[in-house]
């Protein structure tokens, strides 16, 4: 789907976070602006208690005043030329996000192109890894409550890369693309609280 993830009415959105959960750039910044400072406070409390978010780790916060019920902040890998197990770390990050949603009995998750942008992961490579990781999650966790996954970005080329990766994994006839049609996203299954 092409559009603003902070406007989606889903159970959980995924945020690509840095090790200090600072939420100062890109999606993180938009999350705090639209969702409120409570989200940043929960992230700061996590850092106070655990010092940092390690590569591949995931932390779930409430979504403040966003339409989503929860946010899973995950630390995706920085691209280092593909020689430092970046693909495996990105797959693990996606798996942990979906596992967090399933553990909470949530059904809908929105995932961006994790590790792209400032982390330098090539878009086509990252989207292919993310789609393969989603497919593998459902092979391994067949009892998952997650039924709807939205692969989202504001940039057309990233959405096209997601579409290409999905067509390769699932076949072109099984792929739907939504463009700024946020009303078509179904309502979340239930409210989430991190308390």
- CATH class of the structural domain 5-183: alpha beta
Each domain of the chain, given as residue ranges in start order, spans 5-183
pLDDT recorded at residue 193: 36
Average pLDDT, the chain: 87
Q: What average pLDDT does this structure show over 65-75?
A: 94
- Residue 173 — very low, low, confident or very high, per pLDDT cuts 50/70/90? confident
pLDDT recorded at residue 151: 93
Residue with tokens 């067949």: 142
pLDDT recorded at residue 184: 47
The encoded tokens of residue 144 equal: 């998952």
CA neighbor of 95 nearest in space, from 53, 46, 149: 149
Residue 186 has pLDDT above 70, yes or no: no
pLDDT recorded at residue 178: 60
Residue 126 has pLDDT above 60, yes or no: yes
Looking at per-residue confidence, does 144 or 56 come out higher? 144
Residue 187 has pLDDT above 80, yes or no: no
């Amino acid at each position: 789907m092409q559009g603003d993830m902070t406007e989606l009415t889903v159970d959980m959105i995924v945020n690509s976070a840095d090790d200090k959960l600072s939420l100062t750039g890109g999606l993180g910044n938009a999350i705090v602006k639209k969702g409120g400072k409570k989200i940043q406070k929960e992230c700061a409390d996590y850092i106070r208690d655990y010092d940092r978010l390690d590569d591949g780790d995931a932390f779930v916060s409430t979504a403040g005043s966003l339409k989503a019920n929860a946010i899973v902040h995950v630390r995706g890998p920085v691209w280092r030329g593909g020689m430092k197990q970046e693909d495996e770390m990105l797959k693990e990050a996606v798996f942990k996000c979906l596992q967090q949603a399933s553990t909470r009995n949530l059904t809908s998750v929105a995932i961006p192109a994790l590790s792209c942008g400032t982390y330098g992961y090539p878009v086509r490579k990252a989207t292919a890894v993310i789609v393969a990781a989603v497919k593998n999650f459902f092979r391994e966790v067949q009892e998952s409550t997650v039924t709807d996954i939205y692969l989202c970005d504001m940039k057309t080329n990233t959405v096209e890369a997601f579409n290409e990766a999905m067509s390769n994994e699932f076949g072109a006839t099984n792929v739907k693309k939504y463009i700024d049609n946020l009303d078509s996203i179904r309502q979340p299954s239930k409210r989430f609280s991190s308390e």
